[in-house]
Amino acid sequence: MTDLTRRQALAAGIALTASASLPGFARAATPVRLTSVKFGSVSWLIDTIRAEGIDKKHGLNLQVIEVANNPAAPIALLSGSADVIVSDWTWALRQRARGYDLKFAPYSSALGSVMVPKGSPIKSIADLKGKKIGVAGTGIDKSWILLRAYSREQVGKDIADFAEPVFGAAPLVTAEFDGGRLDAVLNFWTYAARLQAGGARQLLSMSDVVKGLGVSRTPALVGFIWSKKEVADNAIPVDVLLKTVADANSVLAKSDAAWERLRPLIKPASDAELIAIRDYYRSGIPGVWGSADTAAAKKLTNLLIELGDAELVGDGTRFDQNLFRT
């Protein structure tokens, strides 16, 4: 790693030392370095893989590269600090347009939601006129861009013009919502699940938004991303990683005991919160990416390009079906 990429990695909060799941096994199998945010949903998956011995079953030498937050993962991949990350395919398409030979396999189709307080008089997106809505992320978050397009489609006006968006990190906007300082919040699925368990009501799911924009099938927006060239050149067994993940998801899809074991990582405020998170996760476990998913992804990409969101999609970005591992 060059001094520049090392500084980039350190600035992004990437842990450059990796913890191997099979001490001493690295000599027998090429490791796969996977990024994970501490206590995030990928960490639940990794914990399940190790606790169930699924890595040993597949002969996978899994090394975890801890990153401080989700934006740090792409830096880890591009700097060579990680082999595989979990991120959006919109970002991966932008990188392919810049010459990076990236590949994508689905991780989760679970999407966030617009939540309102229990007992709120808000019944539709039109009722958010003059209201404060918290948005996890920034003004170029894909969910916010799609919600703006949806509001124009449904009520003829951009929600950015008739409501008051408040942008911030997911924990911050959640705290503001809990404190009664926001009328609604657009948040990631893990936070939406916690809010729902606490009594908040789902006003609109992002799946509904996608369908309302004419995309009947909602593809997984988040997935495993890697460099095809780097994986081939270094014989990194990404296929083994994906098989291991599929087996771990089969456990999480069926075993409530497996979720009880994850309680210390998830840190739910109640049993209801653990159940809500479990059910959200299960609903997002993807199948094999197929032609229908590629077609839906193409529609969404073209929609984002039509919206003129160059910062999110990137100038010169074109839809490239070769990104997706089918």
Distance in angstroms (rounded) separating the CA atoms of residues 98 and 91: 11
CA distance 61 to 81: 16
- How many Cβ atoms are within 10 Å of 283's Cβ, its own excluded? 15
User: So what CATH class is 3-110+219-323?
Assistant: alpha beta
Domain ranges of the chain: 3-110+219-323, 113-212
Structure tokens at 195: 């809010």
Q: Give me the pLDDT at residue 69, please.
A: 86
Summarised one tens digit per residue, pLDDT across range 113-147 is 999 999 999 999 999 999 999 999 888 788 998 99
**Half-sphere exposure for 97 (CA within 13 Å, toward CB):** 16
Where b means 16+ CB within 10 Å and e means fewer, 180-218 reads eebbbbbbbbbbbbbbbbbebbebbbbbbbbebbebeeb
Q: Which fold has domain 113-212?
A: D-Maltodextrin-Binding Protein; domain 2 (3.40.190)
Please list the ranges in the chain whose pLDDT falls under 50.
1-7, 9-11, 16-27
Q: Tens digits of per-residue pLDDT, 219-252? A: 999 999 999 999 999 999 999 999 999 999 999 9
Residue-level pLDDT at 302: 85
Same fold, 3-110+219-323 and 113-212: yes
